[in-house]
Structure 1
C-alpha cells in the first residue's frame, strides 16, 4: 500500500523527516555539551566530525548511489543515521555519535539529489523539484533546530528517542519510492580510481565549475555563520538559553525556504549565472551583524541572509545536476559536489573552531567569512559573461 501517491512527494517527505532529525541532533548535542561542561568550541569539533565522513567517503558514495536503486540507498543512509542516534543514547562522545550520523548523511545525499532527474521530465520540472526539495530541507532545518532546542531543554532522553523515531519513519517511507534499477556493472574500486577524473572533468567545464564554486562557497559560509551565530547571540543580545538560540538560528532557515521556493520566478533555469546578485546581497547582510544589537533587526537580517542564500544556490544545483548527469552520472556528480562542499565547510568550521579556542570574538569570524564569500562571488561575476556567451 502506497502512503503517498506521488513519488516526488514521498521523496520530499522522506527528506524532510531525515533532515529534521539531522538538525535536531545539533542542538541536542549543544545541550549535552553545556550539560557536561565541554568547552564552548567543542560544538565546532562535533560539526567537523559530521563533515569528515562526506570528504572521506566521496569517492565511493556516488558510485554506490549509481550502482543501486537510489530509493534503497536512501533507506541505508537513514539506517546508519539511526545507529548514530543509538550511540548518542548510549552516551558515546557527541563527536563520535554525530560522526556516525555524518556517514549516513554522506550515503544518503547522492541518492537524494541523484534520483530527481529520474522522477522529472524536463529542465524546468527539475528546477522546480530542486526548489521544492531545497525548500523542504530548509523547512526541516528550521523546525528541527527549534524542536531540537526545545526538546533538549525538556528532556535529553526524550529528544534522542524522537530523533530515532523520525529516522525510522523516513526509512519506512523510502520503501514507497519507486525502485529504479541502478547500473550493476559499476565496480567500486574502478570508480574510486576514476573519481579524481570525475572531479577534474567537472571542474574543467565552465558551467559545472561555476556551480561547484557557488554551492561550495554558500555551504561553507552557512556552516560558519550558523556556529558563529550560536556564540554571537549571547554576546550581542544577551540570550543564553539553548531553545531561544535555536529559534533565532532557525530564522535563517525560513529565509532560505522562501528564497528556494521563489527561485523559479526570480532566476530562470537557463539564466542560473545571474544568481551571483543574491550572493552579493548575502555578503552585505552578513557584514552588518557585528554592528547590531537589536533583536528585531537581527531577525530581519537573518531572514535576508537566508532568502538571498536560497535564491543563490538553487539555480546552481539545478544546472549542475542536469549537466553533470550527462557528463559523469547523477550520483557521481553529487558525490563530487559533496567532496568540494564539505571540504570547504570542514576548512571553514576548522578555522572557526581554532579562532573560538583562541578566544577571539564571533564578530571576527562573521566578518571573515563574509570577506571569503565576497571573494568567491567576485569569481562568479568574472565568469558570468563567458557563460552567457556559451549559452
Structure 2
C-alpha cells in the first residue's frame, strides 16, 4: 500500500524529533555521570541553538534551491554524525552542536514543503497542526525514552538515537522530489536574507506571527530547563528517567492543543491565539507556589495545551503569507533566526542565573514576565489586524 506524501513526512518528522529529544536526556545523564556542573545542561542546549542562529542566512536558500526531500535527508545525515561523535566521547556540547547543524538545515524544508503538499488554507492549517502534534508527540515519547534508556545503558540509548536518524533518513526517500529553484545563489541569498527579515517584519501579519512564535519558544526552552532544576527542589525527584517523564507531560498538553487548534481558532482569526498565551503565563507563575506532584502534572498539561493552541495558528499564517512574499524556505529560515535568537538569549540568561546560584523560582517568574511583555504587544497588534482584515 502506498503511503501518502504527507503521512510519510509526518512519520519522518516524528522519528527525527524523537531522536532529537532523546539526546537531551542522554546528555543530562552524561553530565550527571561525569560530574559536570548542573548549569552545563544550559551550555549544551545553547550549543544546539547557536547553529540555528549562525546558519539562518543560508539554510532557507539551501531549502529553496534544492528538492526539500533531499534537504531533509541531508539534515538527518548530519544529525547522525553528532550521534557518532557521542560514541567517540566528544564533549556533549560539541556533539549536540553538530546535531543542531543538522536540525537547522532540516527545519526550513520540514515546514517549507507543506505548501507544496497541500491545496488550501484549511488543509495547510490541518497539516501544520498535525506536524506540530507529531513533533510534540516525539518530544513526549523521545524525552521519556531517552531518560529510561539512559538510566539502563548509555551506549544502547546512543545507538538507538543513531538508528532512528538513519530510519528517518530512509523514509525521506519516499517523499516526492519536487525540484527547487536552481537559479538561487547562496552568497547573494545570504545578503538578501536580512532584506527578507525586514520584509517579513514590516508586514503587520507576519511580524505578529514572528513575535508570537519567537516568544513562545523562548519561554518554552527556558521553562524546560527550569523544570529540570525545579523538580528536585520542589518534588524531591532526582532520577533522570522520572524527570524526563514529568517534562514530557508538557508535550502531551502541546500535542492536544496543537491537534485541537483548528476547532478552537479558525485560520482567519489567528490573532485571537494571544488568549492562550495569557493562560500559559498564569500556569507558569503557579509553579512557584506548588510542591504537589499531581498539581505539577496538571499545570504542565495546561502549559503545554495553551502553548500548542497559541503557536499553531501563527505558524500557519506565517507560512501562507511568507511563501508569496519571500519564499517558503526563506520564511522558515527567518522564523528560525527569530525563534532561536530569542531562545539562545533566554537559555543564556538562565544559564548565567543558575551559575550565580539564583533561585529557580525567580527564573520562572522572570520568564513569565518577559512572555507577558510579548503578549501585551500582540494584544495591541491584534486590534489593528482585526480592523485591517474586516476592511478587506
Q: TM-score, normalised by structure 1?
A: 0.99
Distance in 1, matches of 2:264 and 2:310, equals 10
Whether 1:237 and 2:235 are equivalent positions in the alignment is yes
Whether 1:44 and 2:42 are equivalent positions in the alignment is yes
Aligned to 1:306: 304
Q: Which runs of 5+ in 2 are unaligned?
A: none
Number of aligned pairs?
389
Secondary structure class of the residue paired with 1:379: helix
Secondary structure class of the residue paired with 2:27: helix
Secondary structure class of the residue paired with 2:119: coil
Q: RMSD of aligned C-alpha atoms?
A: 0.5
The correspondence of residues 229-268 of structure 1 with structure 2, limited to 5 A, is 229-268=227-266
Aligned to 1:354: 352
Distance in 1, matches of 2:277 and 2:75, equals 31
In 2, are the aligned partners of 1:4 and 1:10 still within 8 Å (CA)? no
Distance in 2, matches of 1:362 and 1:89, equals 33
Distance in 1, matches of 2:15 and 2:180, equals 25
Cα shift readout 1:217-257 (whole Å, capped 9, x = no counterpart): 00000000000000000000000000000000000000000
Aligned to 2:68: 70
The correspondence of residues 171-320 of structure 1 with structure 2, limited to 5 A, is 171-320=169-318
Distance in 2, matches of 1:153 and 1:377, equals 39
- Deviation, 1:291, is 0.2
- Deviation, 1:389, is 1.4
Moved over 6 A (4+): none
Cα shift readout 1:96-134 (whole Å, capped 9, x = no counterpart): 000000000000000000000000000000000000000
Q: TM-score, normalised by structure 2?
A: 0.99
Question: Which of residues 51, 56, 59 is equivalent to 2:57?
Answer: 59
Aligned to 2:124: 126
Secondary structure class of the residue paired with 1:288: helix
Whether 1:8 and 2:6 are equivalent positions in the alignment is yes
Secondary structure class of the residue paired with 1:239: coil
Cα shift readout 1:346-378 (whole Å, capped 9, x = no counterpart): 000000000000011111111100000000000
In 2, are the aligned partners of 1:55 and 1:342 still within 8 Å (CA)? yes
Aligned to 1:108: 106
Distance in 1, matches of 2:140 and 2:305, equals 13
- Deviation, 1:4, is 5.1
Distance in 2, matches of 1:350 and 1:382, equals 29
Q: Which runs of 5+ in 1 are unaligned?
A: none
Aligned to 1:330: 328
Distance in 2, matches of 1:5 and 1:43, equals 39
